[in-house]
Amino acid sequence: MFELTQDSFYKIIPLLKYGHSHPEILSVIQNNNPGWIFSDQIDSPRTALVWSQGMKGFYLIGDHNNDAFVTKLDGFINMTLKPRMEELGMDYFEVSGYHDQWNMESLFASRGIQQWIQLVFMLKGNEIQSPVLNDHRIRIVDLHSPTWRNQEYINKGFVNEHLDLFWYTPVDFYQKGYGYVAIDGKEIIGVCYSSFVTETTHAIGIEILPHYQKRGVGTHLASLVVKKIIDSGCLPYWDCSLDNEASKNLAIRLGFQKIHQYKCVGFNI
């Protein structure tokens, strides 16, 4: 098993020929978002494992019948990945397959795996539902604006933690992504932003403080980010777990439609 350097990430692009186009994977390959890539070969990979820092999870791509890769994977997780993940404070391994032929139950038969379904939504057409935010105490600030950069807020770290997780540097985000925050007084109560970016697609990340949920804040923020993405000529992409009712309903309210679903598994390491 070999770890590819960033300037070699492009070598696994042929492995993306079949399967669902995950921006979480492609954004790492295109060096827009941080991650690691491991493959069976350096120059002509048949199979690869991609780690997305933003997702804190892995993706298996390429030939699922490649014994040279598959038989070494479990030991590679224990010997190489576990120590690196522990350095990041992680003790849970999450992984999904780029296509449905990856048999996770067989591949990780010795592990006590948990399974769940992820849903993918895309916007139908270019029309976005843009509900009005009725709470006049709440201000909306563009993350690219001088107001955001120059103003001090009580919990600005709330936003910075999101950007640090998904992006190499704040400069990368400002050059490639879009985002808005909602503010009540001096407190940031919610953020919505481009989480993963490819040449054609922006995945959307969002978080609203619990005591401000169900008040239209998330819907309003997300509509602004989606409009920015559409105006840039790109496609907005929404991914959430099947049991995340709030995220599913928000996507649907904005005019998104489900286009795909895929299986994820996880286990303690």
Residue 44's alpha-carbon distances to 25, 72, 76, 168, 214, in angstroms, are: 18, 18, 20, 27, 50
CA atoms of 27 and 198, how far apart (whole Å)? 5
What local confidence, expressed as pLDDT, does residue 129 receive?
67
What's the residue count for the chain?
A: 269
What local confidence, expressed as pLDDT, does residue 18 receive?
82
pLDDT digit string, tens, across residues 165-195? 999 999 999 999 999 999 999 999 999 999 9
CA atoms of 108 and 114, how far apart (whole Å)? 11
Residue 210's alpha-carbon distances to 101, 143, 218, in angstroms, are: 38, 21, 11
Residue 50 has pLDDT above 90, yes or no: yes
Within the chain, where are the H helices? Answer: 23-29, 67-76, 82-87, 104-107, 146-150, 157-166, 170-176, 217-231, 245-254
CA atoms of 62 and 39, how far apart (whole Å)? 10
DSSP class of 144: T
CA atoms of 196 and 211, how far apart (whole Å)? 27
pLDDT digit string, tens, across residues 91-105? 999 999 999 899 999
What local confidence, expressed as pLDDT, does residue 47 receive?
97
Q: Is 129 left (phi over 0), alpha (psi -120 to 50) or beta?
A: beta
**Average pLDDT of the residues in 134-160:** 90
What local confidence, expressed as pLDDT, does residue 223 receive?
95
